[in-house]
Amino acid sequence: MPDLRCRAQGRPAGLPLRLRLDARLAPGRCAAQADRPGAALGPVAGLGFRKRRSPARPALAAAAAVPLSAGPGRPSEEPRVWRIAELLRQVRRQLEGDYRGIWVEGEVVGLKAHPTSGHRYFELQDPGAKLPCVMWRSAARIPAASAALAEGRRVRCRGHLTLWEGGGRFQMIVERVEPAGAGDIAARIEELKRRLQAEGLTATERKRPLPLVPRAVGVVTSPAGAAFHDVLKVLARRVPVPVVLSPCAVQGEEAAASIAAALERIGRRPGIDVVILTRGGGSAQDLMAFNTEVVARAVAASPVPVISAVGHEIDVTVVDLVSDLRAATPSEAAERAVPTVAVVAERLAWAVGRSARALRQRLTAEGRALDRLRARLPAAERLVGPPAQALDGTLERAHRALEERLERRRRGLEELRRRLAAAHPRWRLAQQRGRLATLRSRLDGWGERGLRDAAGRLELADQVLRAAAPRLVAAPRARLGAASARLEALSPLAVLARGYALARTADGAVLTDAARVAPGDAVEVALARGRVDCEVRGTHSGGPLERPRRPC
C-alpha cells in the first residue's frame, strides 16, 4: 500500500494539521482539519482496500464516531481527531486480526534478500495490482520456501496482512511459500483428510498411549538421512532399548509403497512396542509420499503406536493426523518414545507412593469397617469360637493326613526306586549268578547225610510239639472257664431267674425309685419268663427290704 498521506485544501500555512476519520465519507477517504473550523477535506491515497469485517472488532468508522468530551470553547458534538501513530496502529491491529492465515497467489517480482538480516523482500503481482511482501529469515531458511521462491515464478503465499507504522506501508508477512500448481494437489490432500476423518481414523479417542519403557523401538526412515542419526543420538541418552531399523525411501515416486512396506515389516516383528516414522524437512513435493492414502492406511493398520516426525514443525501431513502422536522433529520423536532413567525412576517412585497411599487408605477403611463390625457383633467370638476351633482341628488333621500320605508316597517312591535299581538287568544278572553259585555249592554238599539229618530234626520237632501242646492249652482254657462263670453270674437273666423282676415305666425307662411313679401309672414288669403289665396302687419310700407298715 502506498504511503498514507493527506492533502489539506485551503489550509493557511503554519496551522497544525490533525487527521480525523469521518463516518460520512466513503471508505478510503480522510479529512484534514485545521485548528479553525471549515478547513477543506482531501482524499487519502491508498486506503481503498476491501476488508472482511470481524464481528468481534468494531469498524474503524464506528470507533471514530465516538465523540470526545467537550472542552472549553468546543462543541460537544465535535468528532474524534486521530493522531497518525494511533490511526496506523488501529489499522494494523484491524488488519492483523481480520486477515490472518490467508493464502494469496501471484507472480514474484523484485525479489531481494537483505545482506545483514537475511529477510526476503518481494512483491506479488497480478495484472493491475501489486502486494508488498516480507518473509522473515526464520521462514526463508526453510528449504521448501527457498526452492519455491524465485523471480518471475508464480507462487502461493500463506501469511497475514499488516501495516508498517514507520512508513505507513501496507504489506503481507509471508510464513509459507509453495508453487502455485500445488492447488490441485492440496485439494486432493484435503479430500483424503475428509475421507479419513469420516472413517474415524483421525479421531482423538483412537490414539493409543505410548508404553512407559518399550521393549524395542522400530524406526521407519532412510538409513542415509539425518533424521535416523538424530533419533539414534537422542536414544543413546535415554533408557537403553534395542532399535530396529526398517529402511525405506522417503521421497520419490516409489516412496509411498516403500514406506507402507516398511511399516508392514516392522509390524510383524515381535517385541516392537512403538514405531517412529520420520524424515527431515523438504519441499511440499518432497513430503508428498506422507500425504498419500497408502501410507496413511499403513500407519492406521500398525499393531503398535506410531509416532510421526515428518518435515518441519509447520508441515502437517496426512500421516501426522492418522498417527498416534505427532512430533515436531525426529529428536522430539525419540524423546517421546523412550524416557530418561530419571523420568522412569520418578514415575516408579510416584507409582510406589501412590500404591502405598492407596494401601494405607484401604487398610484404614478396612480397619474402620472392622471396628464397626466388632461393635455391632460383641458376641462374635462366642459364636465363631467353637466352629473356628473345630476348623482348626480339621485343618490340623487334614495337615497330618496330608503329611502321612506324602510320607507314604515318599516311602513308596523310595521303594520303587530301590526296586527299579534292583531290577536293573546288571544287578539282576549278578544276583542270579550269586544264587546259582550258592545252589551249586549246596547241591554239591547235599547227599543222603543231609536228608537224614533233616528228617531227624523234623521228627524231634514233632515230638516236642506233641508233648507241649496239652500244657500250653491248659492255662488259657482255665482262664476262659473262670471268665465265663463270672459273666454268667453277672447276667441280668440269671438275676431274674433267682426271682427278681425288672420294672419299666410307660416310656421304657428302668424304674429304680418309687418316687418316679404315682398311683394310677402303668408299669411293665419283666420276669425271667414273660412280662406283666401292672398299675400302681400306691408307693412307699425306704430301702428295698423294708416292709411297709400295716395300719392297726
Q: How far apart are CA 329 and CA 231, in angstroms?
A: 9
Pull the grid cell for residue 371: 471396628
**517 pLDDT tier (thresholds 50, 70, 90):** confident
Q: Is the pLDDT of residue 377 over 50?
A: yes
Instruction: Kindly state whether residues 256 and 166 are assigned to the same domain.
Output: no
Looking at per-residue pLDDT, the higher value among 180 and 131 belongs to 131
**11 pLDDT tier (thresholds 50, 70, 90):** very low
Q: Is the pLDDT of residue 501 over 90?
A: no
| pLDDT at res. 43 | 34
Please tell me the pTM assigned to this model: 0.39
- Among 306, 339, 372, give the residue marking a domain's end: 339
Mean pLDDT of 168-194: 83
- Among 339, 357, 386, give the residue marking a domain's end: 339
Mean pLDDT of the chain: 79
Amino acid identity at 510: V
Angle at 124 between CA 119 and CA 129, to 5 degrees: 140
Instruction: Kindly state whether residues 168 and 226 are assigned to the same domain.
Output: no
Domains identified in the chain, total number: 3
Instruction: Kindly state whether residues 223 and 141 are assigned to the same domain.
Output: no
Contact call for residues 220 and 274 (beta carbons, < 8 A): no
322 within a domain of the structure (yes/no):
yes
7 within a domain of the structure (yes/no):
no
| pLDDT at res. 276 | 95
Strand bridging mode 325-326 / 502-504: unpaired
Selection from 60-74, 469-483, 486-500, 518-532 with the highest mean pLDDT: 518-532
Instruction: Kindly state whether residues 292 and 244 are assigned to the same domain.
Output: yes
Instruction: Kindly state whether residues 133 and 217 are assigned to the same domain.
Output: no
Looking at per-residue pLDDT, the higher value among 422 and 123 belongs to 123
Instruction: Kindly state whether residues 221 and 317 are assigned to the same domain.
Output: yes
Instruction: Kindly state whether residues 326 and 218 are assigned to the same domain.
Output: yes
| pLDDT at res. 526 | 87
Angular region, 118: left φ>0, alpha ψ -120 to 50, beta rest: left
Match 454268667 to its residue by C-alpha cell: 488
Amino acid identity at 323: S
Instruction: Kindly state whether residues 328 and 238 are assigned to the same domain.
Output: yes
Buried b (16+ CB within 10 A) or exposed e, 274-307: bbbbbbbbbbbbbbbbbbbeebbbbbbebebbbb
Mean pLDDT of 85-110: 90
3-state secondary structure of 182: helix
- Among 339, 374, 397, give the residue marking a domain's end: 339
**Containing domain of residue 504, as a range?**
496-536
Instruction: Kindly state whether residues 218 and 144 are assigned to the same domain.
Output: no
245 within a domain of the structure (yes/no):
yes
The CATH number linked to 246 is: 3.40.50.10550
Q: Is the pLDDT of residue 9 over 80?
A: no
Instruction: Kindly state whether residues 219 and 175 are assigned to the same domain.
Output: no
449 within a domain of the structure (yes/no):
no
| pLDDT at res. 321 | 93
**59 pLDDT tier (thresholds 50, 70, 90):** very low
228 within a domain of the structure (yes/no):
yes
Instruction: Kindly state whether residues 220 and 139 are assigned to the same domain.
Output: no
Contact call for residues 332 and 309 (beta carbons, < 8 A): yes
251 within a domain of the structure (yes/no):
yes
| pLDDT at res. 436 | 86
Contact call for residues 311 and 251 (beta carbons, < 8 A): no
Q: How far apart are CA 320 and CA 331, in angstroms?
A: 16
The CATH number linked to 126 is: 2.40.50.140
Least trusted range by pLDDT, from 225-234, 365-374, 489-498:
489-498
Mean pLDDT of 315-331: 91
Q: Report pLDDT digits (tens) over 431-449.
A: 788 888 888 777 776 666 6
Q: Is the pLDDT of residue 322 over 80?
A: yes
Long-range Cβ contact pairs of 211-215 (< 8 A, separation 24 or more): 211/273, 211/274, 211/305, 212/339, 212/344, 212/347, 213/239, 213/241, 213/338, 213/339, 213/344, 214/241, 214/272, 214/273, 214/274, 214/337, 214/338, 215/241, 215/242, 215/271, 215/272, 215/273
348 within a domain of the structure (yes/no):
no
DSSP assignments along 230-244, one per residue: HHHHHHTTSS---EE
Instruction: Kindly state whether residues 95 and 157 are assigned to the same domain.
Output: yes
465 within a domain of the structure (yes/no):
no
